[in-house]
Structure 1
């Protein structure tokens, strides 16, 4: 079995590619290398190009005519950048993806899996959300994913392709075998700031400690990237069953609004992780408590939310297996290896496949 992975040279896409390979599925990579690393792609058959480039897609399907499954990871993902450049995000994440879907349909692709985001959800009363929760994206990035999902749902309704959206929040960690990981040497997310404080002997600041959560700190939904990769592989393997579930729901829905060719599944730990719990996990991973201080919440800070995962357990036979401390430890290990990986990154591609 061959699967095309768009954005397969990025953090998540490259990890999915390794998980596919480990499970006897051959990944074919398409990436423009705007952020992905060629060294990640070079482990597999790969093509350099834009997801909306018909010529590149024609070449891929000429070389690999058996491809019927696609995992779509290619996207712009930086929330502040999306606020500053919303048109770029809608053009790339929605417009080019529409062209991609059109081209894939021409080449006979039957199954399309979107690596999506749970950041589009409106938090519920207990800050936990399932697949039926209201969506209310708060950034152009989240909105672009929600719009693409609507496009997928409408296209799937034509019967020309079956589509699945996998929604999740915050991936952490790296491939446990250290084949790939996050490409950014200076990440600005919470775990990145913790790693910086750990390395420099500084103090990490927990902003906001009076939220209505189990310990007062913000609730986040961290999940190990290898667990996410496993879920994508499970989605490939269980795809027909996932669509039978969608068909059952569509039949039982009296309004007829549900789609038998489209489904949504949340991925996460099922409990979420508070910032204080992440601080504790960091200490458990390193063997040394992380120095931290507290401060008032900043303007724009939110309590957060996390996903329920019962549907993933039922349809994929999947649940997160690696701990948050595992994610911290693997992130630290990869950050030690990253400088060498970046130094050895070739200046340009040397092969199309």
Structure 2
């Protein structure tokens, strides 16, 4: 049975940063794709014409019923949600509504429709501030903000739905996602983003005056925070393989970290952006401004991806910091030249991202 015979994959948040890369990975692998996105933080131009597109809310049960009835949905990849940690602290109820409450509506609609498989976009934020810098899936989950809790609650709901209704589930816990599609089809298009690599690329291209470094006295090699950065296209590939794993062995539920298992400091990242930009354009040094630590930032947070590698035939193609940076810079230059959208300018909104030293999704 080929991919098309297994039904369409409903990708919620498929017009956003990570979701749009997953859409491309699915289409490239021959899957029929249906996208549901309210475009509050996504870009319509990020969804290829090959995918069916519905503009709407994942909490709209009536719309979900229509999609399930019309599109023969065989699986869901759920990316839609709010992802800014400080915002979740300032407005926790909005996060529990958008991330947890609406995920509940989506899961319930999927169960009613008999959708058999569900791949969930979770986050390393479920670990909070672990005692060890390298975390496995068995590391205690102790979120320190509503964003992390909202994602962990959704994981719990999916686990319970799996036990009660036979829904096959995979939760992928992302570390810091960066880069852009190597073919230049999609990328991170947020105006005013706070994710470190995007911010640094903007600064390298003269679109920001400086980059703030929050904390230079951590117990790390250079005193700045260390994170595990994963290329967005490698992450998207893991989603397709996770879906295939659920199909190949029905009745299983999976939880896996998504990272490369090595960390880079804030200074490492800035050095890489300067290095890659200098090779390509002769660009100079990025202005760096030291700031105090922010509450809730661990010194280092690195994935142990052993379970992912043991479970899936996942072979990363872009596991190199300079490659991640090069693709991010290429996309940033495209945005600076007018962008890929209709009318040659990005529409309002964009995929919201986390602060530089928080795990992305």
* TM-score category of the 2 structures, normalised to the smaller one: 0.7 to 0.9
> In the alignment, is the contact (CA less than 8 A) between 1:118 and 1:266 conserved in 2?
yes
> 1:7-63: per-residue Cα shift (whole Å, max 9, x none)?
111111110000111111121111111111111225221111111212222221222
Deviation at 1:342, TM superposition (A): 4.6
Per the normalisation by structure 1, the TM-score is 0.86
Output the CA distance in 1 between the equivalents of 2:92 and 2:268. Answer: 34
Cα deviation, residue 146, structure 1: 0.7
Report the CA distance between 1:293 and its aligned residue: 4.5
1:131 to 133, 137, 141: 137
Preserved CA contact (<8 Å) 2:200 2:286: no
Q: Is the 8 A contact 2:122 2:171 kept in 1?
A: yes
Change (3 A) 1:242 1:58: same
Q: Secondary structure at the match of 2:260?
A: coil
Q: How does 1:178-193 map to 2 (within 5 A)?
A: 178-193=184-199
1:263 counterpart residue number: 254
- Residue equivalent to 1:104: 110
Give the C-alpha shift of residue 88 in structure 1: 0.9
Q: Which runs of 5+ in 2 are unaligned?
A: 349-361
Q: Is the 1:282–1:289 Cα contact (8 Å) retained in structure 2?
A: no
SS state at 1:341 partner: coil
Q: Which residue of 1 aligns with 2:324?
A: 327
C-alpha change, 1:284 and 1:320, in structure 2 (3 Å) is farther
Q: How does 1:283-294 map to 2 (within 5 A)?
A: 283-286=274-277, 287=279, 290-291=285-286, 293=288
1:297 aligns with 2:292: yes
**How many residue pairs get matched?**
331
Contact persistence 1:157–1:261 (CA under 8 A): no
Q: Which residue of 1 aligns with 2:358?
A: none
Matching of residues 42-191 of structure 1 within 5 Å: 42-43=48-49, 44-65=51-72, 67-191=73-197
Work out which of the residue numbers 198, 218, 221 in structure 1 matches 2:225. Answer: 218
Instruction: Check whether the contact 2:128–2:144 (CA below 8 A) recurs between aligned residues.
Output: no
Question: What's the offset of the Cα at 1:206?
Answer: 3.5
Report the Cα distance in structure 1 between the residues aligned to 2:346 and 2:63, rounded to whole angstroms: 21
Structure-2 separation of matches of 1:347 and 1:199: 21
Moved more, 105-114 or 325-334: 325-334
Contact kept? 2:180, 2:188, Cα under 8 Å: yes
Distance 1:24 1:107 in 2: 24
Q: CA deviation at 1:179?
A: 1.2
Alpha carbons of structure 1 residues 264 and 291: separation in structure 2 relative to 1, 3 Å = same
2:12 touches 2:79 (CA, 8 Å); kept in 1?
yes
Instruction: State the alpha-carbon separation in 2 of the partners of residues 31 and 203 from structure 1.
Output: 33
Matching residue of 2:17: 11
**Paired residue secondary structure (1:68):** strand
Instruction: Tell me: CA distance 1:85–1:130, structure 2 relative to 1, closer, same or farther (3 Å).
Output: same
Tell which deviates more after alignment, 300-309 or 289-298: 289-298
* C-alpha contact (below 8 Å) 1:82/1:139 kept by paired residues: yes
What are the residue-to-residue correspondences of 1:267-278 with 2, within 5 Å? Answer: 267-278=258-269
1:282 paired to 2:273: yes
* TM-score, length of structure 2 as denominator length: 0.85
2-side partners of 1:202 and 1:31: how far apart?
A: 33
Q: Give the Å deviation of 1:167.
A: 0.2
Match of 1:229 among 233, 236, 251: 236
Please report the RMSD computed on the Cα atoms of aligned residues, expressed in angstroms.
Answer: 2.3
